[in-house]
A and B are shown apart, each in its own frame.
Chain A
């Protein structure tokens, strides 16, 4: 076929595709949605079947038999779970206006722009090879059709015109994708034209493949039986219909990869999630889509075997589909086959580049632009559009470069699987994100990074080595000549093929790091909000806008201006009108926007510049409050962390309560001290008043009256002297106590004979006792040791106790007994009287200063009230104890115990 016809055919096909898209869009503008039905939705999912399916499967089948089926069994098996997984993801994306997987992951882990950028970069790196094999497929099929079968064996890159052809196709596809994908600035407005075009494309490739299949099976051969019989007769490939003994792991790995790919490949995500118009469509899609896969694979094996029968190993089996018809001279069938393959490849390229450009623009370029202040907000939507266009061109250019340098050396399937393995790395963070509330940003990052590094090392490095971009020694021995770091046999594990071990290790490290780091890191509150929202989306989606993610306030005019910058005046007014109707709000007289409106605005903007950038832009006009405790607690209530946090709160509360108690206690003590001090002061002055009263009054009398008789005068004077002495004593005691309390007073230690101590004290009070008619008995145990103490101070204590006893003993009948003995290496001195005894309540308090005055409020105190307080201080300084007990019959006994050491 001539170059011109084939190229024309390609361009015409693209124009038809575009017409279909335009038609769908026109219908949608008229309010008639063509894509809003489960059949179109299911067909659009068939964008999964690319040139890989079209050419690659046949090639794979010719070499390894039914193993190619694993790529379709994975998606078929995972489809029923879409009702759980994808329904959740779709709902989350709708609620938060998320337009791609990187955005999704970033949003889940606290709207973290860095994470989004990383995922984007990873995806671009992972998917570019995949795009490049589509270019390779188109170019190869073009060359086979143009130059004939024998060209398929030549190394394509040695042919200048092949280079040129691939470049032209790349440019053509780039232009088409640009035209297709970037006509509107808003990305969440669903691209119905694109969906319709892809559905159309899916029909074309299915029809083309089936036609070629029927042609080969029934025209070239005589049905399935004929082909299988001939194959058996030649026994060229006896085991193609069996799974080899060591092949189960391979099947598992391929099914796993493809099962993940069907959900998370950028183009699949775009069509399955972003372009989904109704969650109910999933119910049909879960059987329609596998049916499509089943039908399109019906003729793979017959064509592969037929090709093998016709060509043996003389040509590249990837081209059998075209070669059989060409060989038979049927250019109509060949042209149809080419068209099917072209359609499969272009469909993939268009959606993939559009999806990736959105990724790049909203997760890599726009966050940087939005954060920097280079451009005014009103230019942002133009920049967003431009960055998407630029991304499409750049992606295709990258894919072209990869095709030129690397992809040429590999089969379609092996390159495709590298991309699948890359996408598989996103699965832990994504699936964990919607089912595991406690997974953290750090965990996601660690997992992705581990997965990425392992993926790059085990799958990308070998392709670069064979393209001679890296030294061959890495493959034959290992990185740095260490066999553990051999990309094809990591850790020295051999015996499974390089893809299997790559997938195994990358996913192993990915999941391990994701789970491990998540368990040992904490979520921020924003992260926690999002985790809660994602995992329990069905609970929250109804109330999302009214529930709070933003807790901030902004001015309505600011929000309006912001929206206008991106959406234009009409669209903004329309949206705000809708919002007002939905929530029954009136804008009048209300210039403060609530968080619901702010969230609404952010969601709208997210559709244009991506959620991360939207957040940055919106935050510029918002005074964001930290989320209030109430809201956090509300959300926490639902979570598994509840228990531990409650516990923590309880502990905190208890600590707080304890602290409060302590403070209260201290405060009470201080108050009491304060009161005591006042009391002390008052009592001291009071105590001074009584003697002073007599002194003053009597002195005045002596001065004023001349006619006092001598006896009376003497009596007055002796009273004055006595009261003066009383005052002096009191002052001395106050100062004494003050000294003891402040710690100023040091003990004057010496060797003390216990007998001396007691006898001298008794001698001091003998006079007093005799006067009152009180009997004093001394009882000192024999062999008392000498001990170290301040003798004068101890005497002061004993004298005080004795004089108190005398004071409270009944006159003439008083009996006081002083005893000294050794108990447990302590010297114990006791003074027992037969007075009234001490009421129990006062037992401890009588050692407080002036307590006597307080306890007997109504009568005048006997003595200063400081004696016992001073005694206690002195005993304290001797590290001893002083206490009082009531006797069984009558009176009380004071005990003093002093350690002898």
Chain B
């Protein structure tokens, strides 16, 4: 299983990278939206853990791209964002996210959710 982590905070990337590796997934890392889309095309990940606030192409756009593209639409998307307002969450689900997890998140829950989505 391939997991793509997209965030611009090195600390978060480090954390997620550790968790996903420990869960036994292959991990790819993108530092912004544009990079993320390239990586999706290249690796067709099964799960994308997406930050929202990123320069240029944001998380919503990345998710929209994934879910609207026939090829990738089966990839699962988890939003992991400091944007915790109702509207943000609703928008996240509206663009096709499978789960929305506001920061600060629980690493245990994230791992559990990732496994859940990938075994469906």
How far does the alpha carbon of A708 sit from the alpha carbon of B58 in the complex, in Å? 33
A859 sits at the interface (CB 8 A): yes
B95 sits at the interface (CB 8 A): no
Residues of A within 8 A of B104 (CB): 689, 692-693, 695-697
From B12, B22, B56, B103, A705 is in contact (CB under 8 Å) with: B22
A715 sits at the interface (CB 8 A): yes
A860, B8: Cβ atoms closer than 8 Å: yes
Residues of A within 8 A of B103 (CB): 689-690, 692-693
Render A848-861 as a binary contact track against B, CB cut-off 8 A, 1 for contact.
Answer: 00000000111110
With A859-B53, A860-B53 known as contacts, the answer to whether A693 contacts B82 (CB < 8 A) is yes
How far does the alpha carbon of A354 sit from the alpha carbon of B26 in the complex, in Å? 124
B53, A858: Cβ atoms closer than 8 Å: yes
Residues of A within 8 A of B24 (CB): none
Render B36-62 as a binary contact track against A, CB cut-off 8 A, 1 for contact.
Answer: 000000000000000001111010000
A698, B15: Cβ atoms closer than 8 Å: yes
B74 sits at the interface (CB 8 A): no
Number of interface residues of B (CB under 8 A): 26
A701, B55: Cβ atoms closer than 8 Å: no
In the complex, which of the residues B8, B18, B54 has the most CB atoms of chain A within 10 Å of its own CB atom?
A: B18
Q: Report A899 CB to chain B, min CB distance, Å.
A: 41
B19 sits at the interface (CB 8 A): yes
B14, A858: Cβ atoms closer than 8 Å: no
Residues of B within 8 A of A160 (CB): none
A211 sits at the interface (CB 8 A): no
In the complex, which of the residues A693, A705, A857 has the most CB atoms of chain B within 10 Å of its own CB atom?
A: A693
Number of interface residues of A (CB under 8 A): 27
Render B1-42 as a binary contact track against A, CB cut-off 8 A, 1 for contact.
Answer: 000000011011011001100100000000000000000000
A751 sits at the interface (CB 8 A): no
From B18, B85, B105, B108, A712 is in contact (CB under 8 Å) with: B18
B106 sits at the interface (CB 8 A): yes
Residues of A within 8 A of B55 (CB): 856, 858-859
| B interface SS class | loop
Which residues 91-120 of B have a CB within 8 angstroms of A? 102-108, 110
Look across to chain B and name the residue whose beta carbon is closest to the beta carbon of A705.
Answer: B22
A665 sits at the interface (CB 8 A): no
Render A695-723 as a binary contact track against B, CB cut-off 8 A, 1 for contact.
Answer: 11110110011001000100110010001
Q: Report B4 CB to chain A, min CB distance, Å.
A: 18
From A682, A690, A701, A858, B18 is in contact (CB under 8 Å) with: A701
Residues of A within 8 A of B110 (CB): 697
With A700-B106, A715-B14, A859-B8 known as contacts, the answer to whether A690 contacts B82 (CB < 8 A) is yes
Look across to chain B and name the residue whose beta carbon is closest to the beta carbon of A859.
Answer: B55
| A interface SS class | helix
A693, B53: Cβ atoms closer than 8 Å: no
Q: Report B87 CB to chain A, min CB distance, Å.
A: 12
In the complex, which of the residues A689, A692, A719 has the most CB atoms of chain B within 10 Å of its own CB atom?
A: A689
How far does the alpha carbon of A69 sit from the alpha carbon of B3 in the complex, in Å? 129
A693, B84: Cβ atoms closer than 8 Å: no
How far does the alpha carbon of A140 sit from the alpha carbon of B87 in the complex, in Å? 113
How far does the alpha carbon of A764 sit from the alpha carbon of B41 in the complex, in Å? 47
From A696, A716, A723, B105 is in contact (CB under 8 Å) with: A696
Q: Report B108 CB to chain A, min CB distance, Å.
A: 6
B107, A704: Cβ atoms closer than 8 Å: yes
Render A160-173 as a binary contact track against B, CB cut-off 8 A, 1 for contact.
Answer: 00000000000000
Which residues 717-749 of A have a CB within 8 angstroms of B? 719, 723
B106, A696: Cβ atoms closer than 8 Å: yes
How far does the alpha carbon of A689 sit from the alpha carbon of B102 in the complex, in Å? 9
How far does the alpha carbon of A695 sit from the alpha carbon of B15 in the complex, in Å? 10
Look across to chain B and name the residue whose beta carbon is closest to the beta carbon of A719.
Answer: B11
Q: Report B102 CB to chain A, min CB distance, Å.
A: 8
A860, B9: Cβ atoms closer than 8 Å: yes
In the complex, which of the residues B8, B9, B56 has the most CB atoms of chain A within 10 Å of its own CB atom?
A: B9
Which residues 340-354 of A have a CB within 8 angstroms of B? none
How far does the alpha carbon of A685 sit from the alpha carbon of B11 in the complex, in Å? 19
Residues of B within 8 A of A860 (CB): 8-9, 53
Residues of B within 8 A of A676 (CB): none
How far does the alpha carbon of A704 sit from the alpha carbon of B15 in the complex, in Å? 13
* Supplied contacts A693-B103, A698-B15, A712-B18, 6 more A-B pairs, CB within 8 Å: A686-B84, A694-B12, A696-B105, A697-B19, A700-B106, A704-B108
22 contacting pairs across A/B (C-beta < 8 A): A682-B85, A689-B103, A693-B104, A694-B11, A694-B12, A694-B15, A695-B104, A696-B107, A697-B15, A697-B19, A697-B104, A697-B106, A697-B107, A698-B11, A700-B106, A701-B19, A716-B14, A719-B14, A859-B53, A859-B54, A860-B9, A860-B53
| Closest 6 pairs between A and B when the two form their complex, measured CB to CB | A693-B104, A859-B55, A693-B103, A700-B107, A694-B11, A692-B104
